[in-house]
Amino acid sequence: MSTELLIDSAQNGSRIALLQDKQLLELHSEGMDNQFKVGDIYLGTVRKIVNGLNAAFIDVGYEKDAFLHYQDLGPNVNSMLKFTKMVRNNNYQSYLLKGFENEPEIDKIGKIEKVLSKTNQVLVQVVKEPISTKGPRLSCELSLPGRYLVLVPFSDTVNVSKKIRSNEERKRLLRLINSIKPANFGVIIRTVAEGQSVTELDKDLRNLLDSWEGGMKKLLKAKSRDKIIGEMSMASSLIRDLLNESFDAITVEEESTYDQIRSYIRSIAPEKEKIVKLYNGKAKLFESAGIEKQIKSLFGQTVSLPQGGYVIIEHTEALHVIDVNSGNKSNQESDQESTALKTNMVAAREIARQLRLRDMGGIIVVDFIDMKKAENKKAIYEVMLQEMKSDRSKHTVLPLSKFGLMQITRQRVRPEVNIVTKETCPSCNGTGKIQASILVADKLEHDLHHIATIQNVAKIQIGLHPYLHAYFTQGLISQRVKWFFKYYKWIKLIRDSSLPVTEYRFLDESGEEIELQVKSETE
């Protein structure tokens, strides 16, 4: 199984595609001003205590106050509050908690008003990004994730991932970490730490301690709402969590991102540095790799299955509903039960992929094709469990009910990926009538003339639909060649199937969009 990561660039950020065996598995977008990411640590101010909810609303700079429940304070919140106050008052010099005396743990069942009060300044970590009309969800139980370890300040416990089964390996890891970790820091040992040397583990721990120390130095002079420790970029965090032997290519479209990714991999896995490649093709990266086509086919309401059949995905206010249909597969098997079993098997694999791809959360109800045999129902349940194992989000899968329904719950910490695959005609706005399509070519040439002569832009690129690209480049003496002799400039044309056929974008040599500067008659 091969794993690839593709990172394309856009004017307002980047898109990240995770592929397994060339199939799209995860799709993430990251804006230039992407704040309040999961893992970010802020200095917040308590705005309101709500006793009825046993929670507080914290001002961290988002348009709506963030939510902090009592159960998310963590047992050592008083230690964190004490240390924060000491650092803010410049009364504590050792940011690595050397000699710091922890406060007693708070009760598991208590009242938030006993711990926090209005206007308190508190260190908080984003555990759920803003979704819909809700602000971020926060925790005071701070943690800093690394490649092999997770650092937990104000704790002294060391825990090993349950997925490490070997007792000998668990004892080895516990012994190693206890011997190298400083006091007042807890550590969670991740699954990928299995078999790693003390050198690698110590290096990861030192990096996390450096990150904590840097954040605490920033805390000394920070203002309320300031980000104290920022989670790394989405691409880097994916690499940190997923990088293994099956990772065989990371392709990046933008040079600065390429340098950043290569530098990060050099620091955590130098032997993997060679898999990072800078894309320099003529078409956009997602277009060249066929990702745009996969996105259009996978994010619709109806998703086709590889061997016939299809699933319909509906979203309601309370839950997600997925219906499995056999389609034209009903004639391919000897009996109805066999048809249902084979279609449901394929559908279960695709549904597990769709949950991860769209990052669907909450309650998901799947209506499989009815099957009579209990062993067939059990087989579908086991396939779904197996396929969901690679999903990093917390989830629960229940066996099929007597009505053929499967219930799944899945934790969501980011807004759901929702891509509109049905397009309203950009020319008619859904009326069904448009001007002659040849006019788009005339309009493009008119705008090009203005940009090339009036605005006198030196190097011009045009992003446009592949149909328009073919129109302007066909023939020995193509329209693009005629432009060259007319303007003495070679116009670079970039295929972009994400654009409607009647739209286009002018770009400068750095990829920034060129605004058409048309003066009004009154000027």
Q: What is the pLDDT of residue 175?
A: 94
Of 49, 50, 264, 34, nearest to 126 (Cα)?
34
Of 403, 311, 325, nearest to 360 (Cα)?
311
Q: What is the pLDDT of residue 332?
A: 53
Q: What b/e sequence results for 97-118 when a residue is b if at least 16 CB atoms lie within 10 Å of its CB, and e otherwise?
A: beebebeeebeeeeebeebbee
Whether the CB-CB separation of 74 and 139 falls below 8 Å is answered with yes
Phi, psi (deg, nearest 5) at residue 381: -60, -45
Beta-carbon-side half-sphere exposure of residue 433 (alpha carbons within 13 Å): 0
DSSP state of 474: -
Q: What is the pLDDT of residue 424?
A: 58
Q: What is the pLDDT of residue 425?
A: 57
The pTM for the full model equals 0.70
pLDDT in tens, the chain (523 residues): 678 889 887 666 788 888 888 888 888 877 655 678 888 999 999 999 999 999 999 999 998 999 999 999 999 999 999 999 999 888 777 788 888 888 999 998 899 999 999 988 999 999 988 877 788 999 999 999 988 999 999 999 999 998 898 999 999 999 999 999 998 999 999 988 999 899 989 999 999 999 999 999 999 889 999 999 987 776 777 777 777 667 788 898 888 888 888 888 888 788 888 888 999 888 888 888 888 888 877 878 888 888 778 899 998 877 899 999 887 554 555 678 888 899 999 999 999 999 988 888 889 999 999 999 999 999 999 999 999 988 888 899 999 988 889 999 998 766 666 555 555 555 555 555 545 555 788 888 888 998 999 888 889 999 998 888 888 998 888 999 999 999 998 999 998 887 878 788 999 888 888 888 765 433 4
| Alpha helices for 424-492 (secondary structure H) | 439-449, 466-473, 479-487
Q: What is the pLDDT of residue 522?
A: 38
